Structures are given as structure tokens and as C-alpha cells.
Chains A and B, each alone.
Chain A
């Protein structure tokens, strides 16, 4: 699911298999995609000329989740303080430090 969201465009099972790079067999990826589609988590359309389907995440659940998350993020400051985000409370001075670090790092 995360890989499909990251792609931002419909992927075929083969493309997803390449993006995951997790040593999953083509058939396994295919089975997972069909199962997620059956659950309504993915949408799909034929890729054309007998090439199977391409898949992308269904928006409904993610849009609902987005509205709810937005409400928490924009909520009162004391509520935001309770929220434990992946990164939090960055001072303006730190931006330069972090940029320098990203420059040092070899590109991903």
C-alpha cells in the first residue's frame, strides 16, 4: 500500500514488484493486489492489450482519514502537544543544520 501511495500513479504488478524490491514473487504481488482490490482498498483498470491491470489506492478511505487527521493537526495547541509525530518542534536555527546533513549524505 505504502509503495502504491508513494508512486503517485497506477502501477502494474510487475512495476510494483520492482518498486518493492523485497524479493516477492510476481504471483505473490499479484495475489496481494487482487485481495486489496476485493476489499475496496485499491482501484484498477485494464492496462490494455492483454497486459492485465494497473492498480492505484482508492481515495475514499484516505480522504476521510485526511479530514480527521487535519482536524487533529489544526486543533488546539495543547492537543497538538499530545500528538507524538515522527518529527516535532523544529527551531528555525535547526534548518541549516539539517540541510547541511542532507548535503553530506550520499544521495539516496
Chain B
């Protein structure tokens, strides 16, 4: 087996680099979907590579061992046994993480659906903290918005409309799916974690833009985000995050920045998109080459 089998495991690191440039993309919805799809594809090929490496353990089966000894010429050595063993271990670990993550996402949706029956797509929870979440469709029900009384009391009429429009945008664009693809990809290959974080930011940006269009004022959305965040609508992390601030600050900045600055960087985004596509294409090609390789070695053995 050649180096092709290892490329899909490592190349996602390059995808993460390209994705970083897309965090402020002007078309967040399209970019989020493209990145989630790219991450999912890269993760699939990377898992395929692990599977190929793990399958080479089969050459230690007694039947194949016997064949190796009986062969008139030396059979091609697939990969070192240690590598194959490590790949098999990683494969089990990836599987468990993906299943655990899926279970968690389902449990949270189920718990939120159990909170009650919405009216006109809205369910109010009588809690003082300001929270709003989009509860995706499930259990034969359309999706709805779950919002606390604290949030409704905190905001004025247009800010409330902005939050509801934001959450309805999540439902309409099925953002939970986009995010689920990206998170599953990150569970399969940890190098994709930055990509999944950027997808999460981009779906929020997309919903913010929809909300801004709905209420006709970007500053109203920015103000609603700032108010809710300051009033404790999220987890507080001690210390600072990465440069550029947390997602909340990035969203507020994106909404308050003058329009001219928003579109100036379009060329850079196109380049980053092309780079991401190229990385995924190389991943797929390497995965294909590795599979062909594997078939050739297997033929020689059997």
C-alpha cells in the first residue's frame, strides 16, 4: 500500500485552514452548507482509509498466513501490523464517538419536544433567564420555537420579532441537519473540529441575516443579540477565546459593519471556497487510489 491511504487522514487539516478564511463569508447559508458537505465527504473518505488499513490485519489470519508460506514468490506486504492495529483502534473509537453524539442530539431534541405543545409555532417557558431555541420537527410535529418569558420581557417589540425570525430561519433552513453533518464529521476526524465550529457560526450568521431582512434593520438584530448575551443567555467561559472574539461578538460585528466592507472580500472567499473544494477532491482521489491499491494487494494474496 502506498502513501495514498494516509492522505485522507491528514488532509482535513488543510480544509480547516481554508475554512477559517470563510468564517466571515458574505453568503453564510451557502457557505455553511458547502463546508458541512465538504467536511462530511472528507470524513467519509478518512474513515474509509481507516477501514482499509484495519482490513490489512486480515493477513494475519491462519488461512492467509499459510498461503504466504506456500507462495513461490514473496507476497506484497500491505502495511506494518502496528499501523493496522492503530487504525482498527481508531475506527472503533470513531464509531463510538459518532453514535454517542447522535444519541445526545436525539435526547436533547426529545427533551425539548417534551416541554409541551406549541401554539402557532411558539412555546413559552416561564423561566427568568433569556433563552430561545429552535426545536426541530420530530414525533410527527412541525418544528417550533421554545422561548423563555425572561427573553420576551427583556426585549422590545422589534427585538422580539428579530429573535423569533432568527429561530424560525433555523427551522426553515433545517440548520440542525447542517450542524449535525459537520459535528459528525468532526467526531470522525478531530482535524475537522475547526470546520464544524465555523459551520455553527455560519448558520447563526445566516439566521441573523434572515432576521435582519425580516425586521428591516440590522441594528435591531445586533441589539437583541447583545442584550440577550449580556443578560446571561449563554454559557460564560472564563478568559478569552480565539482572536476575533466569541461567536456572539463576531455576529454583532458582522451586523453592525458598514455594507461596503461586507462585500469587499468576495474574491478572498471565492479563493477559499476553491481551495476547500480542491482539498476535498484530493482526499477523494487519494481515497480512490488507496482502494485500488488495496484491491491489487488483496488480489496478489488470494
Residues of A in contact with B (beta carbons under 8 Å apart): 1-3, 5-6, 8, 19-21, 36, 39, 41, 57, 59, 61-66, 68-73, 75, 78-80, 82-95, 97-99, 101-102, 105, 108
Among B116, B152, B229, point to the contact of A87 (Cβ < 8 A). B229
Given contacts A62-B124, A68-B116, contact A82 B104 (CB under 8 A): yes
27 cross-chain CB contacts under 8 A: A1-B120, A1-B122, A1-B124, A2-B164, A3-B157, A6-B157, A41-B119, A61-B123, A62-B125, A65-B126, A66-B148, A68-B114, A73-B129, A75-B108, A79-B107, A82-B104, A85-B133, A86-B130, A86-B163, A86-B225, A88-B234, A89-B234, A90-B248, A101-B223, A101-B226, A105-B222, A105-B223
Chain A residues near B227 (CB, 8 Å)? 102
Chain A residues near B222 (CB, 8 Å)? 101, 105
Chain A residues near B298 (CB, 8 Å)? none
In angstroms, Cα B101 to Cα A80, docked, is 12
- State whether the Cβ of B170 lies closer than 8 Å to any Cβ in chain A: yes
- State whether the Cβ of B193 lies closer than 8 Å to any Cβ in chain A: no
Among B153, B219, B240, point to the contact of A91 (Cβ < 8 A). B240
In angstroms, Cα B111 to Cα A56, docked, is 27
Closest to A20 in B: B157
In angstroms, Cα B161 to Cα A21, docked, is 12
Closest to A59 in B: B126
- Interface readout for B142-174 with A: 1 if CB under 8 Å, 0 if not? 000011110111011111100110110010000
- State whether the Cβ of B249 lies closer than 8 Å to any Cβ in chain A: yes
Given contacts A6-B160, A98-B252, contact A69 B131 (CB under 8 A): yes
Chain B residues near A78 (CB, 8 Å)? 104
Q: Min CB distance, B219 to chain A, in Å? A: 6
Give the total number of A-B pairs whose CB atoms are below 8 A apart: 183
Q: Min CB distance, B215 to chain A, in Å? A: 12
Q: Are A68 and B112 neighbours in the complex by a CB distance under 8 Å?
A: yes
In angstroms, Cα B199 to Cα A47, docked, is 51
Q: Min CB distance, B126 to chain A, in Å? A: 4
Residues of B in contact with A (beta carbons under 8 Å apart): 101, 104-105, 107-108, 111-112, 114-117, 119-120, 122-127, 129-134, 146-149, 151-153, 155-160, 163-164, 166-167, 170, 175-176, 179, 200, 219-220, 222-223, 225-230, 233-241, 245-249, 252, 256
Q: Are B124 and A89 neighbours in the complex by a CB distance under 8 Å?
A: no
Closest to A63 in B: B126
Chain A residues near B129 (CB, 8 Å)? 73
Among A1, A71, A91, point to the contact of B246 (Cβ < 8 A). A91
Q: Are B112 and A90 neighbours in the complex by a CB distance under 8 Å?
A: no
Q: Are A86 and B167 neighbours in the complex by a CB distance under 8 Å?
A: yes
Q: Min CB distance, A71 to chain B, in Å? A: 7
Chain B residues near A6 (CB, 8 Å)? 152-153, 155, 157, 160
Q: Are A80 and B166 neighbours in the complex by a CB distance under 8 Å?
A: no
Chain A residues near B122 (CB, 8 Å)? 1-2
In angstroms, Cα B138 to Cα A41, docked, is 23
Among B134, B148, B164, B228, which residue has the most Cβ atoms of chain A within 10 A?
A: B148
Among A19, A41, A59, A105, point to the contact of B157 (Cβ < 8 A). A19
Chain B residues near A108 (CB, 8 Å)? 156, 158-159, 220, 223
Chain B residues near A39 (CB, 8 Å)? 119
Chain A residues near B163 (CB, 8 Å)? 86
Given contacts A1-B124, A108-B223, contact A64 B115 (CB under 8 A): yes
Chain A residues near B134 (CB, 8 Å)? 84
In angstroms, Cα B124 to Cα A8, docked, is 13
Chain A residues near B228 (CB, 8 Å)? 86-87
In angstroms, Cα B120 to Cα A46, docked, is 26
Q: Are B225 and A87 neighbours in the complex by a CB distance under 8 Å?
A: yes
